[in-house]
């Protein structure tokens, strides 16, 4: 598995004047909008290296600048093909922005580029350190559902809800801790971006394992919140 440090699009030439574009959004010679070169990822779309730290102020500024330049309103009198390129690039811009603007989805996307992170991965098991809490949560959820169905007393319902709120608080703390751990490994990735392939692969495997734990804990938080919101 190879993950280059700089995400560069494949060499490209302008469809209008045949000048080399280097994957730029617009031809440096004639200024015509260009199609997205094959192999361009979201990092390359913003001319960024595959690092997990992004200067958000500069990133936002670039996003807004590209949004204006690529907007279909600027191509009202252009050819149909250029209008379509504007629509395509604007859509790609928004997808790239949404993915890279969030630190967690940024990590997920980086891993997906290497084939390590895929949709439909098998369901993860409960993290060992949370086994007892997950068991207690499932018991509390079952008790609350049974109490609702059987018309339990207000006092018993209040007690069960208090137990769930306590569990939710613990899982939210665990989720915050996992996020801190993930960002720590992400920083290691940035420092090791030019290291050998084995070192990079090890870091990606660590991030993938953390993401799996995060996904499980996030689902616990969501399911607990859903039960607490139910009447």
Task: Return the beta strands (E) in 82-213 as ranges.
Answer: none
Do residues 139 and 68 share a domain? no
Do residues 62 and 18 share a domain? yes
Do residues 32 and 96 share a domain? yes
Query: Per the structure, how many domains does the chain have?
Result: 2
pLDDT value at 4 more than 60: no
13 three-state secondary structure: strand
Do residues 38 and 76 share a domain? yes
Predicted local distance difference test score (pLDDT) of residue 34:
94
Residue 117 lies in a domain: no
- How far apart CA 50 and CA 193 sit, in angstroms, is 8
Do residues 92 and 48 share a domain? yes
Cβ-defined contacts of 23-30 (< 8 Å, 24+):
25/66, 25/69, 25/70, 25/89, 26/69
Do residues 89 and 146 share a domain? no
Residue 73 lies in a domain: yes
Question: CB neighbours (10 Å) of residue 100?
Answer: 22
22: containing domain: 1-101
Tokens coding 79: 């050819």
Residue 113 lies in a domain: no
Do residues 132 and 65 share a domain? no
Do residues 135 and 213 share a domain? yes
- CB 93, CB 230: distance < 8 Å: no
Q: What residues contact 121, with CB distance under 8 A and at least 6 apart? A: 212
Residue 30 lies in a domain: yes
**H/E segment holding residue 46:** none
Predicted local distance difference test score (pLDDT) of residue 5:
40
How far is CA 166 from its chain centroid? 29
Q: What residues contact 206, with CB distance under 8 A and at least 6 apart? A: 185
Predicted local distance difference test score (pLDDT) of residue 19:
95
Do residues 88 and 160 share a domain? no
Do residues 81 and 132 share a domain? no
- How far apart CA 231 and CA 157 sit, in angstroms, is 11
Predicted local distance difference test score (pLDDT) of residue 8:
47
Residue 165 lies in a domain: yes
Do residues 97 and 146 share a domain? no
DSSP 191: H
- Domain end, chosen from 49, 83, 101, is at 101
Cβ-defined contacts of 132-135 (< 8 Å, 24+):
133/167, 133/170, 133/171, 134/220
Residue range 35-84, pLDDT digits in tens? 988 888 999 999 999 999 999 999 999 999 999 999 999 999 999 999 99
Taking alpha carbons only, the member of 9, 39, 24 closest to residue 89 is 24
Mean pLDDT of 147-168: 79
Residue 1 lies in a domain: yes
- How far apart CA 155 and CA 83 sit, in angstroms, is 64
Residue 46 lies in a domain: yes
Indicate the angle between helix axes 131-150 and 197-229, nearest 10 degrees. Answer: 20
Do residues 34 and 70 share a domain? yes
CATH number of 81's domain:
1.10.287.110
The model's confidence at residue 97, banded by pLDDT at 50, 70 and 90, is very high
Residue 213 lies in a domain: yes
């Amino acid at each position: 598995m190879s993950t280059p440090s700089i995400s560069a699009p494949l060499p490209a030439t302008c469809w209008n004047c045949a000048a080399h574009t280097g994957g730029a959004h617009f031809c440096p010679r004639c200024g015509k909008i260009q199609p997205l070169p094959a192999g361009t990822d979201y990092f390359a779309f913003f001319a960024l290296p595959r690092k997990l730290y992004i200067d958000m102020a500069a990133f936002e500024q670039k996003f807004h600048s590209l949004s204006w330049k690529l907007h279909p309103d600027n191509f009202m009198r252009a050819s149909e093909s250029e209008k379509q390129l504007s629509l395509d690039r604007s859509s790609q811009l928004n997808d790239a922005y949404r993915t890279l603007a969030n630190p967690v989805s940024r990590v997920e996307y980086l891993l997906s580029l290497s084939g390590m992170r895929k949709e439909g991965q098998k369901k993860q098991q409960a993290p060992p350190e949370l086994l007892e809490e997950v068991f207690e949560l499932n018991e509390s959820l079952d008790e609350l559902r049974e109490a609702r169905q059987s018309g339990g007393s207000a006092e018993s319902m209040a007690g069960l809800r208090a137990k769930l709120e306590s569990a939710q608080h613990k899982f939210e703390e665990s989720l915050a801790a996992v996020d801190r751990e993930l960002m720590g490994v992400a920083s290691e990735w940035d420092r090791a971006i030019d290291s050998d392939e084995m070192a990079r692969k090890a870091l990606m495997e660590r991030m993938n394992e953390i993401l799996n734990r995060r996904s499980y804990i996030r689902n616990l938080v969501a399911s607990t919140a859903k039960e607490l919101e139910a009447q």
